[in-house]
Structure 1
């Protein structure tokens, strides 16, 4: 099995400065430096090349899954996460490594110009090493990107279900869009937390912005109402339009004694009445 020769490793060690210069130029030409500060790019390229040299110099072989390559794998994982947060795609991230191939191949071509067989062998080994590291980077990037997307989705869900304090002791949760299992969980957590924080006695769930109500949506609403009641608060559902009322009747859904109102104003009026308050026009 072919391996990197000591002459290859020495050539890389002695020519790090020109390698870094050409590598950086390749990265800039390919657009892989978008949103990157010059100082950060310089630090990352320098660190990566030094890790390559250290890994090869310590006799770790070319198996990047071995313990001897732990540092470079950790470096690439951090790099991938940072690239995902910057909005780079997987090709830009992988190109950070693959752009090093050109400068390394040129270096080896000059070093082994009198030995075509050795040149071919060493170019192949270097290419295999960088390809493997590139694949590791892509896998890590995809995982990091999925985590970023998941977090953004959770944040959007939270933003789309704001809990509003309408009055002392009265909270309102206006629902807009489709109500699914994941969103129901976010609704429950947000609303229950606000009930604890404010000591509110009544929570109004306004479904004016919910396009349709089917069996699944009704079940989600009932779960939320049950959770609210377990916290010692009452719940009123507002925004029950004629179409939704007809759908509920047609589906034979039982809202189990849940108080419903046609609009948020009526629900607030009822909530205030339950709190022993009345609203009157000023004379």
Structure 2
């Protein structure tokens, strides 16, 4: 619907913006805006800026297609508000209320303008309702996307933290793995290990799976890929943490680890790594 020629909404937004702003903020406070998460002065500034952009878009007469170029600035602002509020701790409902709470102030101004024309009043209210519903849904979708981006980033950070590459000795690295292995985590793990091999010029990399609860065929394949990648970078790999039950599982699955050096513990693997690098360990003699 294009109401640019007869709608009272563009006029109301231009001439009554100050009163609309006051009523809109009051409506949000009544709805229970989280004052612990946003200051009233910040809320007022957001509302004022939104009304300016909203009014400019409405003047174009396009009340239906919020994805058009006329509504780009409004969409961008709502996207920014959604991201900001998701980070501050607002819920999706609280975030969408920013848009939906504008309905009542607009309805009130329309009733004053069209008190003698009930048919036009219904048309205008329907137009405003449809428009703000679409913008509210856009706000909710933007909030969800922002949350998904945060969750994805946190997952990536957790994967990096859960696969630390530690320098045990000159030329010796250790990669302790805790938890299950999937393709995404294996990729992060290999990248971290290979980068560290390049940075340190290490000759031996110990991959410790003491913290891996179970080993299936897929997990074994991921481990073999990591070993192969490290070898291509010039580092020998030692697989440690092979507990009896994991050894039995590997044999049962028929996984071929014949070319991989394995040790029962990280301690044994470290001792072997020291020998491979030419280092020796001796006990200090106790003074009598």
Q: Does TM, normalized by the shorter one, top 0.5?
A: yes
Aligned match of 1:154:
156
Runs of 5+ unmatched residues, structure 1:
none
Q: What whole-Å deviation, never above 9, does each CA across 1:139-160 have from its counterpart, x for those lacking one?
A: 2222222111111111111111
In the alignment, is residue 247 of structure 1 matched against residue 249 of structure 2? Answer: yes
Distance 1:28 1:278 in 2: 72
More off after superposition, 69-78 vs 260-269: 69-78
Does the residue aligned with 2:209 lie in a helix, a strand or coil?
strand
Measure how far apart 1:60 and its partner are.
3.9
Q: CA deviation at 1:107?
A: 1.5
Deviates further, 220-229 or 72-81: 72-81
Map 1:18-37 onto structure 2 (within 5 A).
Answer: 18-33=19-34, 35-37=37-39
Contact kept, 8 Å, 2:37 with 2:88, in 1: the verdict is yes
How far apart in 2 are the matches of 1:256 and 1:95?
A: 62
Question: Using the alignment, how far apart are the partners of 2:273 and 2:40 within structure 1?
Answer: 59
Alignment-derived partner of residue 56 in structure 2: 54
CA distance in 2, matches of 1:28, 1:193: 53
Structure 1 residue 96: Cα displacement: 1.0
Post-superposition Cα deviations, 1:239-278, rounded to whole Å, max 9, x if no partner, equal 1011111111121210141111111111111111111011
Q: Please state how far the C-alpha of 1:225 moved relative to its aligned partner.
A: 0.4
Question: Aligned residue for 2:218?
Answer: 216
Gaps of 5+ in 2: none
SS at match of 1:42: helix
Q: CA deviation at 1:6?
A: 4.5
| Structure 1 pair 87–255 and aligned structure 2 pair: CA distance change class (3 A) | farther
- TM-score (structure 1 length as normaliser): 0.94
Instruction: State how far apart, in whole Å, the 1-side matches of 2:175 and 2:30 are.
Output: 51
Q: CA RMSD, aligned part only?
A: 1.7
Maintained 8 Å contact 1:93/1:138: yes
**Deviation, structure 1 residue 13:** 1.6
Query: Mapping of 1:257-272 within 5 angstroms?
Result: 257-272=259-274
Partner of 1:97 in structure 2? 99
Match of 1:273 among 250, 272, 275: 275
How many residues align? The count is: 283
Structure 2 length-normalised TM: 0.92
CA distance in 2 between partners of 1:41 and 1:122 (Å): 27
Provide the rounded CA distance (Å) in 1 between the counterparts of 2:270 and 2:199.
20
